Every structure is written in C-alpha cells, then in structure tokens.
Structure 1
C-alpha cells in the first residue's frame, strides 16, 4: 500500500488546482425547510421526505386519535346542551330524563373542556410533526464517522484503588 494523499494537483495553463480527494457530504441548507414545508402541507410527508417511513403511522395515529376525541366530545356536548335547552323550554322527554339540570350543565362543561383539550392536542401534534421533520432533516446532515467517539471510561485510582468514572473523547486522524 502506498501513501494516500488528501489532495491531488492538476496543472492546467500554468494554474495549480487542488482537488479534495476525500468524499465530501454535500450539505443542503434548505433540506430542513423543505421537510418542514412538506409536513405542514400534508402531515407525515416531511417524514417520508426524510425516509423515516415508520414515523408516518405515529403522526397519523396521534393526530387521528386527538381528532376522534374532539369530534366525540363535540357531539356529546351538543347532545347535553340540546337536552338542557329543551328542559328550559319545558320539555322532559329527552334522552337524559334521568339527569337533573345541574348534571346536564356539568356534563356540558366536562365535554366542552375535553373538546378544547382535544383541539389543543390536534394542533400540538400537527406542530410536533413539522418540528420533527425539520429537526430530523437537520440532524441527517451531521457528519458522523468512526474518527470521533465518546466512550464511558472507568480507571482505578492507584492509591485508593477506588473507581474513577469519566468520559473520554477520542479523535483519530
């Protein structure tokens, strides 16, 4: 095996050009923005752009479950509200005839609060989907190789024979 140089030189028209012979990873600064934009348009599309397909069911599961509880709480809120309005008009033939007015009011408050929390979770998971796509695309561009490593290390103290715990940072050239 001969010596491998990092740079090669070409001479063209009395100009010396140095070419990098190491493999360079091109960094596209717009990749995180594209991933975030795609996830903002269609949830999960940014994860597909990052080739993290296993995250797409998690995104749709989180947003879907939150949306289900929002719709369910909204329907139940309207049922209790309509029953209470009918009671105020003098009707007693609603589906909640076994509940008094105070219970109808507290049920309305309960389902209104659940509806609000569910809407907050839908928006939160949607935003988290966008942030995840952006951060994942940004982290994908970091140079990770074997030359840099952080390892836990335990040394025995020569005097006390107690363990000294620490981290070592190794960089190989």
Structure 2
C-alpha cells in the first residue's frame, strides 16, 4: 500500500515538472515578433508617404466643376478657346501657328492655281498676250511661259489644285486635333490628380562586384537607379 502511494506521488511530481518545463509558445512567438519589429525599424526604411502640410501641398487636385464637354465645344467654335479654358496658355501659339501656316500655304497655292489656270486658258485659246483686265501676275507668268508647253502648264494647274485640297484637309484635321486635345486636358483636370504620392526618380550610381582572388580591386559597374513612390 505504501509502495502504491509512493508511486502515485512520484508520477504526480514528474507530470508537474514536465508541464513546468513546457515552453510557452505564445509568449515565445510574441517575443520573436517584437524583436523582429525592432530590427526592422532600425535597419529598414519607412515605406509611407509624406504627410500633407502647408509646406507640402498637392500639385494638382481634381476639379469636379471643370467640364470636358465645355472645353470641347469651345474649341469647336473658336480654336484655342478650349485651351484657354483649361489654363494651357502656352498651347495657343501652337494652335494658331499650325492653322495659320496651313491657311497661308492654301492662299499661296490658290494664287498660283488661278494664274496658271488663266495662262492655260489663254494658251489653249491661242492668244498672243493676256487681256488688259488680267492681273499683273498673269501677265508676268504668261511672258515666262512663252516657251513652255500646254501640258507643263496643265500639270502646274493640277499640282496647285491638289495642294489646295490637301491644305483644306489639313486645316480641318488640325482643328479637330486641337478639339480633342482640349477635351483630354479637361478630362485630366476634372477626374485625376498628380501629387507627391506618385512619383519616380532616376539617379546614377555605382555597383561593385565581388573581390576575386586574381585581382586586387573589385569590379565597378555604372548603373541607373529608378525609385518609384506610390
């Protein structure tokens, strides 16, 4: 009987000792995570965006009152009006430079077309000289074209007529392009923002290779580093 009691007491003590030596996995895991966070905070870099203050404002903010359709209609009525509405003043010289250049080329080709056409009509009619009512440009061209065949004069008529048509198409196309440009700019102002939270930077750098046994200096390679901020 005494032996049985001694055995039972021994088993109880052994179980208590074994339970006391069992590691606390929850506490151990928390301690490991705490130490890892400390190491990360010391060696790593914080991946957060800057706090927006008075000195660090967003460059652009969406403007819900800005109407893309209104910018499109204004550019349709008057070239460059949509760009003014979008506050893109620097695009006005491009718009009027392109349209003005096409208009100037059209006027020049139209003048030559009319002169060559009149000279062709006179040559075909067998006239020896232009009429008194003809402009001076026709008289000068008729004198220069004395030894030129009617086919050559007809080719010049067709050449300038084709250039006139191309200028008209280019003028209409450029007008449409500036309308689309005004709409796209207004769409970005209305719906999107560009700020410091999204940026990229390219900087030069140098990467050193491992030091090999055969050489005394490590290999050096110039590189470009791209930094993205979201």
Query: Same fold judged by TM-score > 0.5?
Result: yes
Q: CA deviation at 1:155?
A: 4.1
The answer on 1:98 being equivalent to 2:157 is no
The answer on 1:115 being equivalent to 2:164 is yes
What's the C-alpha RMSD, in Å, of the aligned pairs?
2.4
TM norm structure 2: 0.57
The answer on 1:156 being equivalent to 2:206 is yes
Q: What is aligned with 1:133?
A: 182
Q: What is aligned with 1:77?
A: 113
Partner Cα separation in structure 2 for residue 26 and residue 150 of structure 1: 21
Q: What is aligned with 1:33?
A: 69
Structure 2 segments unaligned to the other structure (5+ residues): 1-60, 131-138, 210-218
Partner Cα separation in structure 2 for residue 111 and residue 26 of structure 1: 49
Label 1:144 to 1:26 Cα distance change in 2 as closer, same or farther (>3 A): closer
Q: What is aligned with 2:229?
A: 170
Partner Cα separation in structure 2 for residue 57 and residue 168 of structure 1: 36
Structure 1 segments unaligned to the other structure (5+ residues): 1-24
Where relative contact order (Cα < 8 A, 6+ residues apart) is larger, the structure is 2
Q: What is aligned with 1:52?
A: 88
Partner Cα separation in structure 2 for residue 143 and residue 130 of structure 1: 22
Encode CA deviations 1:47-82: one digit per residue, 9 max, x unaligned.
Answer: 111122232233122212211221221222122112
- SS for the counterpart of 2:143 is coil
TM norm structure 1: 0.73
Q: What is aligned with 2:197?
A: 147
- SS for the counterpart of 1:92 is coil
- Check the 8 A contact 2:62/2:193 in 1, yes or no: no
- SS for the counterpart of 1:97 is helix
The structure with more radius of gyration: 2
Q: CA deviation at 1:126?
A: 0.8
Q: Paired residues, what number?
A: 148
Label 1:54 to 1:34 Cα distance change in 2 as closer, same or farther (>3 A): same
Label 1:166 to 1:29 Cα distance change in 2 as closer, same or farther (>3 A): farther
Label 1:153 to 1:54 Cα distance change in 2 as closer, same or farther (>3 A): closer
